[in-house]
Amino acid sequence: MEQQPEPKIKYSVIWRLLPFFRPQIYLMSLAILSMLVVTGVKLIQPMILREIIDKAIPSGDIDYAIKAAVMFIFCLVAGAIVSYAQVLLLTRVGSRIVAGIKNDLFSHAIHQGMRFFDRQKVGTLITRTESDTNQLKGLFSYATVQIFSSIILLFGISFIMIREQPWFGVGVCIAIPTTGLVLAYYTEYVRSMYKRVREKNSEMVGYVAEYIQGIPLIQLYGRKKDAARQLAKMNLEKYNIELRTLKIDFVFFWPTFGFVTETLFFLAILFYGSGRIFEGKMTIGTLIMFIELMRQFNYPLREIAQVISQLQSSLAAAVRVFEIFDTPTDVQDDGKIIRKQHPIERIEFHNLNFAYKKDELVLRDVNFTVNHGEHIAIVGASGSGKTTCVNLLLRFYDPTNGFISADGDDIKNFKISEWRGGISLVLQEVYLFSGTIMENLKVFAPDIPDEEVIKASQIIGVHDFIMSRKDGYQTILAERGANFSQGERQLLSYVRALVRNPDLLILDEATSSVDVITERMLQKSMEKLMENRTAFIIAHRMSTIRTADKILVFEKGKIIETGNHDELMLLNGVYCKLALLQAISEAKKMVPETDIEFRIPQAAIEMLIAEIPS
């Protein structure tokens, strides 16, 4: 699988992230306050040890020693409690901010026109909405506070050492940038290794998703073992890279780095401190305090290195997220007209041109008028522009040139929600959502009364079928309605369309996925559905088309024939050929499989004759 290059980080993105902190400023302030308390406790503890060793023990002051010990224990307990509270606060802050970003990102995406989804892969959008936003959680919570905590702790340690032993403190301050440089180089190196791990993981996810979709073919052609073998190979490659990375990172570098730096610091303190003790210029308590401070010294350095690495990954994720936010919608929703309450009397297509890509027109000079209550059938070969035409009517796209008007007003002047609110769409591929039948038929609009849904189901003729299920209208649908047949899903989509009580109905190949028996059952229901409504019908079957008031024949993006069924048959043009070819195809289906030669039965002959007007 080809990997997408990581985006170049523009650090101006940091300023764009700051507004997301504002709603959580109160919790962030508490988290920062708790961070200061924890850091202060860490710095106080070594100083308490010095007091016990230098003052309480030599003087034999038991009360002072007990008080100091109690203070030390109190610092330990207080530090643990405040650290726990800090984790809770930061987790809440990060989760809230990321949830807000996800909501904004999803809302921005679903308000885009269809061009946006043509350009973006579904997997990419899922990754941006879920994985990349989750990667920001650490940035909004732990990383931001931790890096300040580590810096303050380093400054605190350095300040105490310089105050107590200036020359040694200066040496420590010199050691900080040197150690930091080593960590910076290592962090960049190990980051590239973790990037390879992520790439291998992405390959595996893509491979599994692809092969799960193709399970029927894999099983049919007996490729199960080969698929499993390939996945095992990819898994082994990922395992080897991941194991090597973990060995270098956690088994070799950090233990070695910690051992070397702590040993060097300890020897430096011991060598310097013992000399100062013998000279009477340093107490044993101060030496112990220095050792304890240096023990803490490595922790903030390591945290800063790891946080910087995390920040780089988080900022890269932020860049990818803002790429979605920065994508302008090609369908602007700036209309002011509220949809008229009465049905629209007249829809007109004016010199309509449209191109998905520049200079590749799929619609050319489309002009036609539809009056209220008319049923318009749109036919033509695949790619002729049929579906594109209704997509423009739905404002999934906007025309390249020309416009569509409703009662004289350009539909761009309507608010999109208002315009689409009077339209129902029935597709060949039925989309049902996880949830109950009732929720799906209402399209999750709880304000629609159950009685209206039941009435619509009775009109379409599916009420008895729904009630035959154990839970009736409360039956749970599996993902995309997988526990229902294609025909059953199609029937439910008819009910869903009728429940909206639309002014305008669009049927896009709405019966092509059902069998002949189901189609015949749907005819009367469709007549009820289209009664007193303007309807656009995209279909191939003549049973759906022949009763239309007007038929538009598309070819290469142009309307080449217009008329009703009888008028177009008399033209002996493209439509006539399509009708006769379909009639012959249907006739062949009526021939018993046992017949050796093709004989057209009487019923098929009558079907052909019916296609030719008198």
Query: Which burial class, exposed, middle or buried, applies to 50 when counting CB atoms under 10 A from its CB (0-12, 13-18, 19+)?
Result: buried
Order the strands of the 409-410 sheet from edge to edge: 360-371, 346-357, 401-406, 409-410
Which segments of 67-211 are extended strands (E)? none
Do residues 575 and 536 share a domain?
no
Which segments of 96-137 are extended strands (E)? none
Tokens of 27: 């919790």
pLDDT over 60 at 61, yes or no: yes
**Domain-embedded: residue 466:** yes
**Region for residue 395 given its phi and psi (left: phi exceeds 0; alpha: psi -120 to 50; beta: otherwise):** left
Query: What are the distances in angstroms from CA 132 to CA 97, 127, 315?
Result: 13, 6, 10
Do residues 181 and 256 share a domain?
yes
**DSSP code, position 18:** G
Is 586 or 98 the better-scoring residue by pLDDT?
98
Last residue of a domain, one of 267, 296, 325: 325
Q: What is the mean pLDDT of residues 93-121?
A: 80
Q: Which residues, 6 or more positions from 54, have their beta carbon under 8 angstroms from its beta carbon?
A: 283, 284, 285, 286
Q: What is the mean pLDDT of residues 244-264?
A: 78
Say what the pLDDT of residue 6 is. 52
Last residue of a domain, one of 520, 543, 563: 563
CATH number for the domain that contains residue 457: 3.40.50.300
Question: Which tens digits make up the pLDDT trace of 395-405?
Answer: 888 898 999 99
Do residues 161 and 281 share a domain?
yes
Nearest to 202 by CA among 250, 246, 245, 237: 237
CATH number for the domain that contains residue 141: 1.20.1560.10
Range of the domain at 24: 13-325
pTM of the shown model = 0.65
Q: What is the mean pLDDT of residues 137-164?
A: 80
pLDDT over 50 at 43, yes or no: yes
Cα separation, 248 vs 512, in Å, equals 59
Do residues 600 and 473 share a domain?
no
Is 588 or 16 the better-scoring residue by pLDDT?
16
Do residues 557 and 574 share a domain?
no
Tokens of 293: 């401070």
Is 282 or 555 the better-scoring residue by pLDDT?
555
Question: Which tens digits make up the pLDDT trace of 417-458?
Answer: 888 888 888 877 777 877 888 988 887 677 888 888 898 888
Cα separation, 81 vs 78, in Å, equals 5
Do residues 516 and 609 share a domain?
no
Cα separation, 523 vs 544, in Å, equals 8
Nearest to 486 by CA among 507, 514, 457: 514
Cα separation, 556 vs 438, in Å, equals 41
Q: How many domains does the chain have?
A: 3
Do residues 102 and 164 share a domain?
yes
Do residues 592 and 534 share a domain?
no
Helix, coil or strand: residue 192: helix
Query: What are the distances in angstroms from CA 284 to CA 62, 269, 291?
Result: 19, 12, 11
Mean pLDDT of the chain: 79
Question: Which tens digits make up the pLDDT trace of 476-518?
Answer: 887 667 777 777 888 888 888 888 888 888 888 655 555 566 6
